[in-house]
Amino acid sequence: MSDLSSGGTEQFEFRGKAGEWFGIWIVNLLLSIITIGIYSAWAKVRTKKYFYNHTFVQGRNFDYHATGGQILIGRLIFIGGYIAFSLIISLVPFLGIILVLGLLVLIPWLIVKSMQFNARVSSFSNVRFNFVGKTGRAFVVFILMPIAAYIVIAALLGGGGALAFASGSVALGAILGIAGIVVMFFAFPIVDKAVKQYVVNNYRLGNAEFLLDVSLKPFVKAFGFAFGWVLVVGLLSALLLGNSVVGAFEALEALDNGGDPDPAALGVLGLLYLLFFVALLPAGFIYQAMIRNTMYNNTTLTGGHQFRSTVGPAKLLWIALSNAIVVAFTLGLMLPWAHVRMHKYLATQTFLIPGGSLDDFVGKQVEDGMSVADAYTDLEGVDFGMPL
């Protein structure tokens, strides 16, 4: 990392402090409880504003400009729509299919609107972000591509099993099953790459465009490492537990039927649950770290500005797990410390490689009319609370 710390490379820095953030966090929590969740909209604004304002690069920080009222209105609209959907399904069941099809069109629109809102209420050094993605493309990457991938994988895996059973051809079933696994191995990276490029390539900082130019290879590689971890844990678990796995599932069935299961089998069942998390949690952090590095290392900003990320999967996993342990043992009181610790690590592993003077870049954006003082036509929008 030494080569990134010199030669014009600017390291991001998070200047927040755990004690300072604790004071804001505890007030947010108490007021949200007292107001039965209503204040949580303002708590979200205070949270984002604190972490944005304390994140710096080359002495310049970020800012968040939304209001609690905008967040609350968006949530109320979202909740109202959900209640209306549930009531219609209950009262007029045959309209269910029509409403589901309508949701397939509505969800991409909500995603785009949420991205636009969150971008436009964020700024860096007094320059607004923007999101210009189209709903049509969002429908393709968030709806069509995942559904198509799922159908193909399910057809190959399910169809392989059905054909093997019907025809008695184990070889045919195995071939289709392997084909399904291979498709899954590439389908997830393809879809994830499309989503990441759609999001990044439609972001703007002022009039400057972000561009994520990356091949499929690093996505397949990241998925391969994550899948490999799950596979290794699964194989070791099979060797370790052997036939006792059958007894564990028999114990589970006995519990469902109100019977008295074997205590040893219950112990194996508990171990299986533990191994499930041992397989999936590290795999998730492996993929997250590798993809974060891939995205930053292949993203540029108009003007020749580049980014770098050096997050280590093992380090990210250690911070996340140790944070979780400390928070659990302190009954949640150390959660602000965990937030600050994670943000500090991610900031120190993120770098900007300026293609020129950052002062000139910011000055140009402000001259072009992209400063905080300028109003967007739909700036007074709402946050629909989409998990983006």
If pLDDT is split at 50, 70 and 90, which confidence band does 382 have? very low
pLDDT tens, position by position, 337-369: 999 999 999 999 999 999 887 777 776 665 555
Question: Looking at residue 278, what is its pLDDT?
Answer: 86
* pLDDT tens-digit series, residues 116-161: 989 999 999 888 999 999 999 999 999 999 999 888 887 776 666 6
The pLDDT tens digits of the residues spanning 35-68 come to 999 999 999 999 999 999 999 999 999 999 998 9
Q: What is the pLDDT of residue 307?
A: 96
> Residue 2 above 50 pLDDT?
no
Are the C-beta atoms of 192 and 219 separated by less than 8 Å? Answer: yes
- Has residue 381 got a pLDDT over 50? no
Question: What pLDDT score does 106 carry?
Answer: 87
Q: Which amino acid is at 208?
A: A
Using the CB atoms, write b or e for 65-79: b if 16+ within 10 Å: bbebebbbbbbeebe
- Locate 19 and state its tokens: 């004690």
Confidence of residue 13 (pLDDT cuts 50, 70, 90): very high
**Which residues share a beta bridge with 215?**
none
pLDDT score of 184 = 78
Q: Measured between alpha carbons, how far is 221 from 290 in angstroms, rounded to an integer?
A: 9
pLDDT interval class at 3 (50, 70, 90): very low
Q: What pLDDT digit, counting tens, does each position of 278-327 carry?
A: 888 999 999 999 999 999 999 999 989 999 999 999 999 999 999 999 99
252-286 pLDDT, tens digit each: 555 555 556 556 655 666 677 778 888 889 999 99
CA distance linking residue 168 with residue 374, whole number of Å = 70
Confidence class for position 225, pLDDT limits 50, 70, 90: very high
The residues facing 251 across adjacent strands are none
H helices of the chain, where?
A: 18-34, 40-53, 68-91, 96-120, 135-139, 145-167, 170-201, 217-241, 244-256, 263-297, 313-329, 335-348, 358-367
Higher pLDDT, 275 or 335: 335
* Cβ-based neighbours of 22, under 8 Å, separated by 6 or more: 336, 337
Find the range with the poorest average confidence among 33-37, 128-132, 174-178, 213-217: 174-178
- pTM to 2 decimal places: 0.84
CA distance 332 to 325: 10
Q: What percent of the chain has pLDDT over 70?
A: 78
Return the sign of the alpha-carbon dihedral for residues 230, 272, 149, 196: negative
Q: What is the pLDDT of residues 112-127, one digit of tens each?
A: 988 998 999 999 988 8
Of 87, 135, 134, which Cα lies nearest the Cα of 109? 135
